[in-house]
Structure 1
Amino acid sequence: MEHLVVTVIAQDQPGLVERVAQCIADHGGNWLESRMSRMAGQFAGILRVAVPAESHAELVEALQGLSIHGIRILLAPSGDEPSCVAKPVLLDLVGNDRPGIVRDITRLLTELGVNVESLITDVMPAPMSSEPLFHAEAMLAVPVSLTLDALKIQLETLADDLMVELNIRAES
């Protein structure tokens, strides 16, 4: 079996995921894992597919053919997972919305060698004031050489500068 990473984006509509899933199944592919979401009328997702080597080229062609239905597809070979050992850490952040929060947090994480494995953000009105509140939840892969306490100190210093509340905890 060969593995593909498939990125999908299209105007949101009923049956979109089914159309992609049917295309994969029609070519003997196996849908292994995915992350998909609707936002601002668009639907986007990334998935990993296993396909028999003899069906690989036909599946690629069929997926690209979904463009006639307004479905854009980007394909990449599935790479090997990094051999680096990391600890999973969950980061939760809330603060008044302003430009640059994600940039500043991710800059510090990059400097510390921390990988962002997943990131979910949104802006919602605050319960009492209705002021926009920014919320971010991230799953981080922290190098084993970086202690949770050292990461907390660095992030809390930045959180104070950004005026955001931050929670960090090791994921078990």
Structure 2
Amino acid sequence: MSELAITVIGRDRPGIVADVAEVLARLGANLTDSTMTRLRGHFAMTLICVGPAAADVEAALAPLAADGQLLATVRAVAPDGATAPTGEPYVLAVHGADRMGIVAAMTRVLTDAGGNVTDLSTRLTGSLYVVVAEVDLPPGTFDEVAGRLARTAAELGVGVSLRPADTDLL
């Protein structure tokens, strides 16, 4: 069995998730991690599964992309293994008037502090731009990072909040 990273993108339509999931189930591929969303009328899916060889999965997904409306890619990846989180989990929220560079500036602050973005989404609604990110920060850096984020947000003319994340119960 191989660990595979699969992406599917294209114009949104009902049934994409069901179609992809059915192909994977028929192949005996176990979907382990995934994220799926609709972005301005386009569907985007990224998932990790354990299953047959990448070429077999790619061939099985090919009919879904035959009409040119979807693009599906499959890539074998090395298993991540069980690793303990290296930081403390936080949720970052940024909101304000849309302008170039908001994500770049805010994530640079996190990176420079040794933080890691583990999930990020953005949404533009009219002129309001919203960023929500899950981040891991090195222990003991919250106050420093929060201060740097506040200063960067002020320079950009946006609001920012950083709060501890509720841990997942799995």
Task: Quickly name the TM-score band, shorter chain normalised.
Answer: 0.7 to 0.9
Asked if 1:77 is matched to 2:71, the reply is no
> What secondary structure is seen at the aligned counterpart in 2 of 1:119?
strand
Equivalent position amino acid for 1:40 in 2: R
Report the alpha carbon displacement of residue 57 of structure 1 after superposing the two structures with TM: 4.2
SS in 2 for 1:74: strand
Any unmatched runs of 5+ in structure 1? Answer: 126-131
**Consecutive aligned runs of 4 or more in structure 1 exceeding 4 Å deviation:** 81-84
Q: RMSD in angstroms over aligned alpha carbons?
A: 2.1
- Tell me by how many angstroms 1:97 deviates: 1.6
Whether the 8 Å CA contact 1:122–1:135 is kept in 2: the answer is yes
2:134 matched to which residue of 1?
139
Alignment correspondent of 1:34: 34
TM (norm. structure 1) is: 0.83
Tell me if the contact between 1:148 and 1:170 (Cα under 8 Å) persists in the aligned partners.
no
Determine helix, strand or coil for the equivalent of 1:113. Answer: coil
Distance, in Å, in 2 between the alignment partners of 1:76 and 1:89 is: 30
SS in 2 for 1:98: coil
The answer on whether the counterparts of 2:54 and 2:75 sit within 8 Å (CA) in structure 1 is: no
Where does the alignment leave 5 or more consecutive residues of structure 2 unmatched? none
What amino acid maps onto 1:167 in structure 2? S
Q: Which residue does the alignment assign to 2:59? A: 61
**By how many angstroms is 1:7 displaced?**
0.8
- Identical pairs, percent: 33
In the superposition, relative to structure 1, how do residues 140 and 101 fare at CA in structure 2: closer, same or farther (>3 Å)?
A: same
Q: Does 1:120 align with 2:121?
A: yes
What SS does structure 1 have at the residue aligned with 2:107?
A: helix
1:169 aligns with 2:163: yes
CA distance in 1, matches of 2:148, 2:98: 21
Matched residue count = 163
Q: Which amino acid aligns with 1:103?
A: A
* CA distance, structure 1, for counterparts of residue 84 and residue 55 of structure 2: 29
